[in-house]
Amino acid sequence: MSKIENTKMLETFVIERKRGSRPVPLKDTSYDIEVVSGVAVVKQTRRFRNDEKRPIEAVLTFPVAFNAVVTSLECTVGGRVLKGQAQVKQKARETYESAIDNGKTAVLHEELLPGLHMVSVANVAPDAEIVVVATYLQPLALSKGAGSFRVPLTIGEIFGQLPLQDSDQVKLGGENGEVKVSIRTSSGRVYVNDELPKDGSVTVKLNDVIEVRVEELVVESLGGIAADGRPVKVDFAIPSDGDCDLDIDVMIDTSGSMGLGVSGRMDMGRSKYDAVMEALRRSFSQMRQADKVGVWEFNSRCDHVGRASGTSAGGLLAGVGTPRMGTNLAEAVSKVVASRVEPQILLITDGQAGRMIDVQEAVSRGARVTVVLVGQDSLEVNAGYLASQSGGEMFVVASGDAGRAVEAAVASMRSAASPVRPVEGDPTAVTRRLAGTEITATWGQQAERTVDGIAALAAHLVMTSLDEKRASALAAAEGIVSHLTSIVLVDEEGATLTDLPEQRQVALPTSSVATRGMMFAAAAPSGAMTASLSASGSSRGGMGLLGSGGGLRSMRVGSKPEALMIAPSGVDDASVFMELADDASVGTVGFKLPDLLIGDGSYDLTGKGYLNGIEAIFRGLDWNSHVSELTSTPLGILPASVAAAIIRIGSLDAFIKASDAAKVPSTSLAAGILAALYGGEDRSAQRIARKLLAKLPGVVVESLKAAVKSGQ
DSSP string, 514-538: PPSS---PPPPPS--EEE-EE-TT-
pLDDT of 525 above 70 = no
C-beta of residue 294 within 8 angstroms of C-beta of residue 272: no
From first CA to last CA, the distance across the chain in angstroms is 22
The rounded distance, in Å, linking the Cα atoms of 650 and 664 is: 11
- Longest alpha-carbon distance in the chain: 94
C-beta of residue 148 within 8 angstroms of C-beta of residue 140: yes
Residue 148 vs residues 131, 144, 218, 571: alpha-carbon distances, Å: 29, 11, 13, 59
The rounded distance, in Å, linking the Cα atoms of 593 and 599 is: 13
pLDDT of 156 above 70 = no
Beta bridge partners of 116: 63, 113
Sheet holding 201-205, edge to edge: 80-83, 69-77, 129-139, 39-49, 26-36, 178-185, 201-205
pLDDT at site 241: 62
- Mean pLDDT, range 26-33, rounded to an integer: 96
pLDDT at site 555: 31
DSSP assignment of 394-453, as one string?
A: EEEE-SS--HHHHHHHHHHTTSPP-------SS--EEEEEETTEEEEEEET---SEE-TT
Question: In Å, how far from its chain's centre is CA 653?
Answer: 43
C-beta of residue 508 within 8 angstroms of C-beta of residue 154: yes
Q: Are strands 26-36 and 39-49 parallel, antiparallel or unpaired?
A: antiparallel
**Residue 419: cis peptide before it, omega within 30 degrees of 0:** no
Confidence category of residue 290, pLDDT binned at 50, 70, 90:
very high
CA neighbor of 497 nearest in space, from 15, 50, 21: 50
Question: In Å, how far from its chain's centre is CA 19?
Answer: 26
Confidence category of residue 568, pLDDT binned at 50, 70, 90:
very low
pLDDT of 23 above 60 = yes
Lowest-confidence region among 40-54, 509-523, 604-618: 509-523
Confidence category of residue 26, pLDDT binned at 50, 70, 90:
very high
Confidence category of residue 357, pLDDT binned at 50, 70, 90:
confident
- Mean pLDDT, range 67-84, rounded to an integer: 94
Domain edges within the chain? 247-412, 529-710
Q: Are strands 533-534 and 231-237 parallel, antiparallel or unpaired?
A: unpaired
- Which 8-state DSSP code applies to residue 262? T
The rounded distance, in Å, linking the Cα atoms of 541 and 671 is: 12
pLDDT of 672 above 70 = yes
Pick the CATH number of 247-412 from 3.10.20.740, 3.40.50.410, 3.40.225.10, 1.10.10.10: 3.40.50.410
Question: In Å, how far from its chain's centre is CA 112?
Answer: 6
Lowest-confidence region among 216-230, 500-514, 655-669, 685-699: 500-514
- Mean pLDDT, range 457-480, rounded to an integer: 92
Confidence category of residue 169, pLDDT binned at 50, 70, 90:
confident
Mean pLDDT over the full length of the chain: 79
pLDDT of 596 above 60 = no
Q: Which tops the pLDDT comparison, 5 or 529? A: 5
Amino acid at 463: M
Dihedrals φ, ψ of 335, to 5°? -65, -45
CA neighbor of 651 nearest in space, from 536, 541, 539, 562: 541
Share of the chain above pLDDT 70, in %: 76
401-419 pLDDT, tens digit each? 677 788 878 887 887 655 5
pLDDT of 605 above 60 = no
Dihedral over Cα of 320, 322, 323, 325: its sign:
negative
The rounded distance, in Å, linking the Cα atoms of 64 and 79 is: 28
- Mean pLDDT, range 122-151, rounded to an integer: 93
pLDDT at site 421: 65
Q: Which tops the pLDDT comparison, 581 or 631? A: 631
pLDDT of 436 above 80 = no
- Mean pLDDT, range 595-603, rounded to an integer: 34
Q: Are strands 56-63 and 502-506 parallel, antiparallel or unpaired?
A: parallel
Confidence category of residue 541, pLDDT binned at 50, 70, 90:
very low
Share of the chain above pLDDT 90, in %: 50
pLDDT at site 152: 87
CA neighbor of 457 nearest in space, from 185, 147, 222: 222
pLDDT at site 390: 72
C-beta of residue 406 within 8 angstroms of C-beta of residue 379: no
- For residues 103-123, one letter each, b for 16 or more C-beta atoms within 10 angstroms of the residue's C-beta and e for the rest, the string is bbbbbbbbbbbbbbbbbbbbb
Lowest-confidence region among 25-39, 385-399, 535-549, 641-655: 535-549
Question: In Å, how far from its chain's centre is CA 596?
Answer: 45
Residue 479 vs residues 226, 458, 482, 485: alpha-carbon distances, Å: 11, 12, 10, 9
Sheet holding 247-253, edge to edge: 302-309, 292-298, 247-253, 344-349, 368-374, 394-397
- For residues 155-189, one letter each, b for 16 or more C-beta atoms within 10 angstroms of the residue's C-beta and e for the rest, the string is bbbbbbebebeebbbbbbebebeebebebebbbbe
- Mean pLDDT, range 129-145, rounded to an integer: 93
Say which residues have a Cβ less than 8 Å from residue 94's Cβ, sequence separation at least 6: none
Confidence category of residue 615, pLDDT binned at 50, 70, 90:
confident
236: left (phi over 0), alpha (psi -120 to 50) or beta: beta
C-beta of residue 246 within 8 angstroms of C-beta of residue 410: yes
pLDDT at site 240: 73
Amino acid at 210: I
The rounded distance, in Å, linking the Cα atoms of 663 and 64 is: 48
Q: Are strands 529-531 and 502-506 parallel, antiparallel or unpaired?
A: unpaired
pLDDT at site 234: 97
Lowest-confidence region among 74-83, 448-457, 492-501, 583-592: 583-592
- Mean pLDDT, range 303-322, rounded to an integer: 94
